[in-house]
Amino acid sequence: MLGYPQAVEHIQGFEENNLSTPDDCGDPTVPGDVNGDGIVNVSDLFAVMDALDPCDGCSDNLNSDEIVDVVDLLEVVGNWG
């Protein structure tokens, strides 16, 4: 068990790590990054959900088949962060 001061330091370190900018931030080729901001997050998830439909060639169609569907959603979730 960690004592109180050690536990606080541990939690602070954890939060700092989570808040740091990903190394690939700004990389337009991040898999699952629909809106091209370099991070796969809830914005990309909503972008795909909004586009759920037959949509050949749409940027939301991540696996390049002829439809935006749950497979594309899973591509976003699979590359989350």
Contacting residues toward Ca ion, per CB under 5 A: 33, 35, 37, 44, 61, 63, 65, 72
**Smallest separation (angstroms) from Ca ion to the CB of 18:** 17
Q: Answer yes or no: are the C-beta atoms of 76 and 45 closer than 8 Å.
A: yes
CA–CA dist 36, 45 (Å, integer): 13
What is d(CA 74, CA 15) in angstroms, rounded to the nearest whole number? Answer: 27
Min CB(74)–Ca ion separation in Å: 10
The nearer residue to Ca ion, 9 or 65, going by C-beta atoms, is 65
By beta-carbon proximity to Ca ion, the closer residue of 27 and 65 is 65
Beta bridge mates, 54? 67
